[in-house]
Structure 1
Amino acid sequence: MSLIPLARLLPGRRSWGRSAAALAIAAVFAALFTAPAQAADGQITGLGGKCADVAGASNANGTPVQLYDCNGSNAQRWSLPGDGTIRALGKCLDIVDRGTADGSLVQLWDCAGTPNQQWVVSGANDIVNPQADKCLDVRDRSTANGTRLQIWTCSGQPNQKWSAPGGDPQPGGFVVSESQFNQMFPGRNSFYTYSGLTAALSAYPGFAKTGSDTVKKQEAAAFLANVSHETGGLVHVVEQNTANYPHYCDWSQPYGCPAGQAAYYGRGPIQLSWNFNYKAAGDALGIDLLGNPWQVEQNAAIAWKTGLWYWNTQNGPGTMTPHNAMVNQAGFGQTIRSINGSLECDGKNPAQVQSRVTKYQQFTQILGVAPGGNLYC
């Protein structure tokens, strides 16, 4: 395809390339470890059928949280009150020193409403801290009593799988179940995980949570339909044409291109590109994407967050954000205009518009909701 003009101020729409190899080792570990049982009596069960446990049943600040034989004691009774916290003995599951690095330990601490005490329980049975974009993890994959719990980059391995009380994928629930997500994307790249998506949702709590159940499902279907179109069904993670890579650095910006001239190519579900878009998205999300844009192709939750950033905050060539287009019932066609209207709408590329509309209609059917009007732009 032809190059996007350098003056364009939104993610380009180009051909794509496959991401790094899928996490094949996950299947090996899945064969070695037993999947967690269903939670009961407020227990959080994990590797080897053992429980998340507060050491010594102490509620002192700094008490370690560990893996231990399930025994039904108060040290293993956890609650998810719906505010993003996970609580036991009147205190919150907390990341030591507000760490975000792999291996940061977890403990019990006074509930403070801080990001290191926020957790999302995904439909894939991951427990994710959205700030760190990492999963609750059993250290060294050990099933020994007393093994410390920590956070680690989400890998889908059994030492990161948990069954928590309540069973709600996240506070308020996401209108797309994991089985529906898999039905929508049967050939998706393993990089684009459902748990990564549900972990990213906390960044924009209004997404698919605004309006009636019909509107919520329509918005989720609209976002995923556009994402599907952009990525070939969640197959492609990065832009394929490497010859384009040096063109996405705008040196007129005062911060320049600290990651390099060719570092700001398209990545993620709505192909974030250009240094100024990486800067804006990173600032909004509290992540240094200008300095390290590769995070978007290495971390599923961050990739999903960049897509949600664009969807919820950017008008693009349109007159409203895609989020507002759906919740205000302007119609799916306005989401196309906001994402790529300058190249597709008003008769410029009707085949591409039809591709998006067809996918949206398929996804609304999966969710059991009418697509609404104004589908075209």
Structure 2
Amino acid sequence: MPGSGVLLGGAALVGLGAWAMRGGAAAAPLTVDQLCAVMPRLTPSVAASYLGPLLAAMREAEVTTVARVAAFLAQLAHESGELRYWEELATGDAYEGRKDLGNTQPGDGRRYKGRGPIQLTGRANYRAAGAALGLPLEDKPELAALPAHGFRVAGWYWQSRHLNALADVADFVGVTRAINGGTNGLDNRVMYFDRAQRVLKTEAA
């Protein structure tokens, strides 16, 4: 999780509502109150503005069960400081020349620093996400820091790494490694995961 970053407060309020059945399994509901319970530093008004694109992105990525939603929300909460930080405040110079991230051109470190609720990083990831989602992210990486696109980018990253399968078998450490490259902040991520499970399961009970 970045120590600080760009604070975003909101797009237009979109329609809310319960999810339909998907893939034969009951989809996990998510409301403004639940989102605020998982991420208490979010105000209800900001949570309301995010809920529509968040739900749409989760449906697109098939994050539609309590186990998957809890794991997804936990990782986003940690990476983005409870959906408050949408662009890494650090310059990105630490990523310069990182060929493993596809940063092969001068200035790529700054240009493709972490953005969005999952902190997408590196030219290669921006290129792949853009191709998959039909967005010009390689040419306009700042788009990943907009909620309407950033949540979809997070969903793409989640699905492209097959993290639903890990969430289904409760391999939260594996999910963390796929997102972080290690287990940095694991205790904090687990705290959010446990909280999300309690919130979602209480609603479903």
Contact 2:2–2:81 (8 Å) recurs in 1: no
Residue 150 of structure 2 aligns to a residue whose secondary structure is helix
Contact 2:97–2:104 (8 Å) recurs in 1: no
Higher RCO (CA 8 Å, separation ≥ 6 residues)? 2
Contact 1:259–1:292 (8 Å) recurs in 2: no
Match of 2:89 among 231, 240, 250: 240
- Name the residue aligned to 2:180: 340
Where does the alignment leave 5 or more consecutive residues of structure 1 unmatched?
1-12, 24-153, 209-215, 315-320, 370-377
Give the direction of change, closer, same or farther, for the CA distance of 1:168–1:231 in structure 2 (3 Å limit).
Answer: closer
Query: In the aligned structure 2, how far is the partner of 1:259 from the partner of 1:171?
Result: 45
Percent same amino acid at aligned positions?
A: 26
Give the direction of change, closer, same or farther, for the CA distance of 1:245–1:203 in structure 2 (3 Å limit).
Answer: farther
| Residue 295 of structure 1 pairs with residue 136 of structure 2 | no
Larger radius of gyration: 1
- Name the residue aligned to 1:193: 50
**Map of 1:140-179 to 2, 5 A cutoff?**
154-156=11-13, 168-172=17-21, 174-179=28-33
Contact 1:17–1:237 (8 Å) recurs in 2: yes
String of CA shifts for 1:257-282, please: whole Å, max 9, x gaps. 69966311101111001000000111
Give the direction of change, closer, same or farther, for the CA distance of 1:219–1:260 in structure 2 (3 Å limit).
Answer: closer
Query: In the aligned structure 2, how far is the partner of 1:185 from the partner of 1:235?
Result: 10
Residue 181 of structure 1 aligns to a residue whose secondary structure is helix
- Name the residue aligned to 1:355: 188
- Name the residue aligned to 1:229: 78
String of CA shifts for 1:270-300, please: whole Å, max 9, x gaps. 1001000000111111111101111111x31
Query: In the aligned structure 1, how far is the partner of 2:109 from the partner of 2:32?
Result: 38
Query: In the aligned structure 2, how far is the partner of 1:237 from the partner of 1:252?
Result: 19
Give the direction of change, closer, same or farther, for the CA distance of 1:243–1:289 in structure 2 (3 Å limit).
Answer: closer
Contact 2:30–2:200 (8 Å) recurs in 1: yes
Where does the alignment leave 5 or more consecutive residues of structure 2 unmatched?
22-26
Give how far 1:178 is off.
2.5
Query: In the aligned structure 2, how far is the partner of 1:364 from the partner of 1:284?
Result: 30
Query: In the aligned structure 2, how far is the partner of 1:245 from the partner of 1:15?
Result: 15
Give the direction of change, closer, same or farther, for the CA distance of 1:260–1:355 in structure 2 (3 Å limit).
Answer: closer
Give how far 1:368 is off.
1.9
Match of 1:281 among 129, 142, 152: 129
Residue 110 of structure 2 aligns to a residue whose secondary structure is coil
Which of the pair is proportionally richer in strand? 1
Query: In the aligned structure 2, how far is the partner of 1:259 from the partner of 1:334?
Result: 32
- Name the residue aligned to 1:217: 66
Give the direction of change, closer, same or farther, for the CA distance of 1:334–1:353 in structure 2 (3 Å limit).
Answer: same
Query: In the aligned structure 1, how far is the partner of 2:84 from the partner of 2:108?
Result: 26
Residue 83 of structure 2 aligns to a residue whose secondary structure is coil
Contact 2:18–2:30 (8 Å) recurs in 1: no
Q: State the AA in 2 paired with 1:269.
A: P
Contact 2:92–2:110 (8 Å) recurs in 1: no
Residue 238 of structure 1 aligns to a residue whose secondary structure is strand
- Name the residue aligned to 2:119: 271
Residue 175 of structure 1 aligns to a residue whose secondary structure is coil
Query: In the aligned structure 1, how far is the partner of 2:197 from the partner of 2:84?
Result: 21
Query: In the aligned structure 2, how far is the partner of 1:247 from the partner of 1:265?
Result: 9
Contact 2:97–2:108 (8 Å) recurs in 1: no
Residue 141 of structure 2 aligns to a residue whose secondary structure is coil
RMSD, matched Cα: 3.2
Alignment TM-score, normalising by the size of structure 1: 0.45
Alignment TM-score, normalising by the size of structure 2: 0.78
Match of 2:200 among 367, 372, 375: 367
Give how far 1:232 is off.
1.7
| Residue 331 of structure 1 pairs with residue 171 of structure 2 | yes
Residue 294 of structure 1 aligns to a residue whose secondary structure is helix
Query: In the aligned structure 1, how far is the partner of 2:20 from the partner of 2:12?
Result: 23
| Residue 182 of structure 1 pairs with residue 40 of structure 2 | no
